[in-house]
Chain A
Amino acid sequence: MLAEAKSRVRPPPVLFHSLDYLVFLPLTLGAYWLVPERVRLRVLALGSLVFYASWSIGYLPLLLGVVLVAWAGGLWIEHANRGGLRGQGWVVALLFLPLLLFKYWNWVADSAEHLMGFGEGISWIPRSSLGLPVGISFFTFQAAAYLMDVRKGAGAERNPLRFGTFIAFFPQLVAGPIVRMGQLLPQLSKPQLLARGDVGEGLYRIGTGMFKKVVIADTLRLGVVGPVFQEPSAFTSPEVLVALYAYTLQVYCDFSGYTDIAIGSARLFGIHLPENFRRPYAATSVSDFWRRWHITLSNWVRDYVYFGLGGARVSSEWKVYRNLMLTLLVIGVWHGASWNFVVYGLLHGVAVCLNRWLRKKHGRPTGKQPPGVWAWFWRFALTFHFVVFARILFRAPDFGMALEVVESLLRAEWAWPRFSLVCWGLLFLGYALHGVGDSVERKVRSAFVRGGPAFWALGLGLLAALCMKIGAGESVAFVYYRF
């Protein structure tokens, strides 16, 4: 195993929480707002290409290729719709080809050979040695949604520059939110103007995102989650349990922190991106969880997979369960090419089906609040712990490690966990902030917005100092970049 050890390729560059971004964002903003209105789109497009090139210049042609295929494909589908032609599905399939090759090919080949009984070292299916292009799942899904919307009758975008900016808009390019054509193209089609509060709200979102990512997520990753998941057997069961809670919070703070910065950055350009999270760990069922977690992906899969299969309007109840299972399976596999994610998706699928079955049995309609505090509490606790334990599959690189985590958890020895006070403090603070109600959050946000430029600069300056003091200082890539 050690002979296979190799250095990792250096982490990708313009991370949202890096000094590079601190320079890149004001430069792009300055250029965007200073140039005449008619060239602003070009500035945004150029900035987005530079941003992606800084990550992976080698994959820039791939991004441009996806943009070209989706743009031309959209026009062709629109033309074909008018002429009553069929077979537009091939354009969508063509769009998914790079994703299949870069992300899933090796896994499919490994699994196929394994199923056919080929031994270790024997291989007849060629493998790809190319790394995964950053953000490929996000921009492919965004482009595919566009094509499917056009297929359903939405008008195709004729301006390639506007369409390219829609796919490659840098704040949401590498890790979402997955934006639909109706959410972004209209905004790019008209002159951009900042509305009252855009700058303050944008900076507030950037600040909260930085805090979540640098202070909470990275500190928990380095101080608790990293060591425990690296070697679960070296830790006691309470420590493994705490690490699972910490990882659950880390993933949330990491991904929602990224989303906050993306939404905040876009606001500074006068562009509104959709929300991706709505206090997901306060969910009272697994279905509810997916309505709160990575909302733009859940909506995508709901609209194009679940509804595509017939959703709940099918001839028999078991077909609804089949559709739910397939939908959650797609969500699982979207996260990565491994059996861990297959099982992760299936587990969530079973939970969603069970939830539906119980709801049907008791005649409770969807979305109805549980009756009373106790009814709410046990549903919340059960859902939360289901999510926490399913995260083992999400974090562990393979089944072996997942099993090791479970074994360490079940040793059931009691000893106070050895984590630093800072980590304990951030763990409690993180969950407390997650639990804060929307009204409180709104009040804090509007107080910040009212503060004005000097207050914003002071607030974000103090936050930067805190990040340098408490944060790891390393530019640790966001978890969802690898998807």
Chain B
Amino acid sequence: MSTPPMSHRRELQDLGVFLLFVAAFLLEALVVPDLNAYKPWVDGEPVPLLHFVEEAPGPSVADINSEASPPGWDQEDTGLAADSWERLPHRPPAHPTSLEFEEGLMDGFFQGLLEAEVGQPNRIVRVLHWGDSTIAADGVTGTVRSRLQDVFGDGGPGFLPIKVDPRWVVRPGIARWPKGDWGSKNITQGGASFRRYGLSGIVAKVDGRAKATLGGMKVEGQRQLTHRFDVHYQRQPRGGTLSLSADRAEPLRFSTSSSEVGDAFVTIEPAEGAAYLRLYTGSDGPVTVYGVSIETQGPGLTWETLAVAGSSVASMRRQNLTHLVGQVERRVPDLLVYQTGGNEMEYDSFVEADGEAFMWEYLEVLDRIRAGAPEASCLLIGPIDQAIRVRGQIVSKPLLSKMVELQRKAAQQAGCAFWDPWSVMGGDGSYARWLNMDPPLAWTDLMHLSKEGRALVGESLADAILDAYDQWKSVQVALDTAPPGFTAR
């Protein structure tokens, strides 16, 4: 088969004209300012094809494996003092990062830890940790909880809402089996009656017969025994009946009806401990439950995940203040932890000028959660690194350092400790590095850490807390104020 030369020439001519048009379009994109976003190449980017000749070849897998630490990973990068750098465990690519706080600010919490460590009977150290999606997956909190419970004892899972939407928060390992028509509302989406969302920001409601079972973690294949169930619920006009039963014990049955809306609590303390608490609702009216706090006999620690994905200072301000204060007060916490920032990056109050207006919103939220436990220590945690794609490159969001600095300043003003996971990740540009690890430490959505990444941040937070606690303890030993039975680790 032979193609007529004329048709070949015509095709070649078409190809040539097409290439000329393409060249014209490319030139237009390069010179017309309005088409900046469509420039095929900008100054500073690798020159197409030539960069193979110009650039040194990339590192081989063997090179990378032999590296003791990632590039730019040293003490000067972290800004840590030499002794902190020496003390804190090194977990590349995470940078060792200490807690930042004025002397005395964490004494209450550390004192609690000390009491639990020396085995003070029934001492439960309670940590309430509010946060956004970084926390809602329970990866950071789960890791810290596990590390600290190894040292101070397992105080149980702490506060658990009874019905959650797994898209907004999860708590692996615990027993939470709602049955029936339970519905839930959370502070991110709104919609709860009277703006009462409970301690965790998630409230469950049912009208009719339903059941819910809650329990702690499994330890050596057995569900751990709980010695204290504290049910947080709502009293309301025409409220229905709620029955509570710890394992097979006789149910405690009561009405949630009241002339006006308010919060109430019921405590069940099984003498021998119980694996599960079962809640039954009657068909005589709606029942609203905020959740149940679940604790062991102690001594031990609870690190309670109170996060909802998408949470921010705006959603935290959605809570009825009196209600929130009452919920926090009931828990008698030793440490309050607050960690949002990623979802506030677009706030006008943050983006505009110096962000001072945003800082006041942030401080107001701190005041709200601290109002229920003014004596508790307080820890603010900054955002993780997040990124955007710019011309195919993954770069950190430009305002992250501003957010970290504002939150650091807010912590100082509020008298709270501060911890900076952005620095743990390595600061500017770290998201791309974490994403490109094997296994990846971050997700491709450029906003969230992977399971491994969350665990690494959790380990780093546990390192920082235990280091600060050890430093505090060594001072107590020097002052001879430590309780009997205590020895420095």
Contacts and interface: CB of A to CB of B under 8 A. Distances in A.
A9 B392 CA distance: 17
Contacts of B65: 6
Interface stretch (A84-92, A100-108, A220-228, A276-284): A220-228
B93 interface: yes
21 contacts: A1-B452, A2-B456, A5-B437, A5-B439, A6-B438, A9-B60, A22-B48, A30-B19, A57-B57, A193-B3, A199-B14, A227-B443, A230-B444, A234-B137, A234-B451, A236-B166, A456-B18, A457-B21, A472-B389, A472-B392, A474-B389
Contacts of A234: 137, 170, 451
Interface in B446-485: 448, 450-452, 455-456
Contact of A193 (B8, B17, B48, B64): B8
A308 interface: no
Contact of A7 (B11, B14, B437): B437
A51 to B, nearest CB: 11
B17 A453 contact: yes
Given A19-B48, A57-B57, A199-B15, 17 more contacts: A2-B91, A26-B19, A27-B49, A33-B12, A193-B2, A194-B3, A195-B11, A196-B7, A200-B14, A222-B445, A226-B445, A230-B443, A413-B166, A457-B22, A457-B24, A460-B22, A473-B391
Interface in A454-483: 454, 456-458, 460-461, 464-465, 468-469, 472-475
B59 A9 contact: yes
A10 interface: yes
The 6 closest A-B pairs by CB, nearest first: A457-B21, A194-B11, A226-B444, A453-B17, A473-B392, A453-B18
Interface in A6-27: 6-10, 13-14, 18-20, 22-24, 26-27
B61 A131 contact: yes
Contacts of B44: none
Contacts of B433: 7
A377 B41 CA distance: 48
Contacts of A475: 392
A472 B444 CA distance: 10
A407 interface: no
Contacts of B64: 6-7, 9
B18 A457 contact: yes
Nearest to B91: A2
Contacts of B221: none
B72 interface: no
B48 A23 contact: yes
Contact of B49 (A2, A24, A30): A24
Given A194-B7, A236-B166, A457-B21, A5 B93 contact: yes
Nearest to B453: A2
B33 interface: no
Most buried by B among A6, A196, A203, A469: A6
A461 B22 contact: yes
A119 B18 CA distance: 62
Interface residues of B, number: 63
Contacts of A27: 49
A454 B23 CA distance: 12
B18 A129 contact: no
Interface string B108-142: 00000000000000000000000000000100000
Nearest to B451: A231
B12 A194 contact: yes
Interface of B: 2-3, 5, 7-8, 10-12, 14-15, 17-19, 21-22, 24-25, 37-38, 40-41, 48-49, 52, 57-62, 64-65, 70, 91, 93, 137, 165-167, 170, 172, 389-394, 433, 436-441, 443-445, 448, 450-452, 455-456
Interface residues of A, number: 66
B10 A196 contact: yes
Nearest to A195: B3
Given A2-B91, A13-B52, A473-B392, A7 B445 contact: no
Contacts of B2: 193
Contact of B18 (A14, A23, A203, A233): A203
Contacts of B21: 453-454, 456-458
Given A5-B438, A226-B443, A227-B443, A23 B59 contact: no
A4 B61 CA distance: 12
A461 B25 contact: yes
A157 interface: no
Nearest to A26: B19
B61 A9 contact: yes
Contacts of A460: 22
Interface in A53-99: 54, 57
A234 B171 CA distance: 10
A47 to B, nearest CB: 12
Nearest to B389: A473
Nearest to A25: B19
A418 interface: yes
Contact of B436 (A8, A26, A30): A8
A151 B8 CA distance: 37
A268 interface: yes
